[in-house]
């Protein structure tokens, strides 16, 4: 093994800034998908989220953050997939961010409808 191939092999496994940003944004998107799924399943009280609306908002926000961060990594990537710029992780982050945003939006809409149905209508005097 020559010295240049050893250096190239070592560089292939380095944690570059693009890989780090893409990995973190993918983890944020995954967290949003998990929280949104638990809120939709009705397990929000068991996981430490006080209300359904709070969990839905957290999932929606995590999805948007993952979408934006993944998009920034995609827009600023120098090379293709496998070049160390984090492009593959950014694609995963965008997909997970989109899924988290959709699930969070669905959960937020459901919590809004549920809140509107539980409010009793005002009765007139009499």
Task: State pLDDT tens for residues 63-115.
Answer: 999 999 999 988 888 877 777 777 888 999 999 999 999 988 888 887 666 65
What residue segments make up the domains of the chain, in order of their start? 15-82
Query: What is the pLDDT, as a whole number, of residue 25?
Result: 94
Q: What whole-number distance in Å separates Cα of residue 119 and Cα of residue 114?
A: 9
Residue with tokens 């010295």: 3
Q: How far is CA 122 from CA 112, 113, 119, 125, 126, in A?
A: 19, 18, 9, 9, 12
Q: What whole-number distance in Å separates Cα of residue 66 and Cα of residue 73?
A: 11
């Amino acid at each position: 093994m020559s010295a240049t191939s050893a250096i190239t092999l070592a560089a292939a496994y380095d944690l570059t800034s693009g890989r780090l940003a893409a990995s973190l944004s993918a983890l944020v998107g995954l967290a949003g998908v998990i929280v949104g799924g638990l809120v939709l399943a009705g397990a929000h009280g068991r996981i430490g989220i006080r209300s359904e609306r709070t969990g839905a908002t957290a999932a929606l926000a995590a999805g948007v953050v993952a979408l934006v961060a993944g998009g920034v990594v995609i827009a600023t990537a120098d090379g293709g997939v496998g070049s160390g710029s984090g492009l593959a992780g950014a694609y995963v982050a965008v997909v997970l961010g989109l899924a988290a945003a959709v699930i969070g939006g669905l959960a937020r809409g459901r919590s809004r409808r549920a809140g509107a149905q539980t409010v009793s209508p005002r009765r007139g005097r009499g």
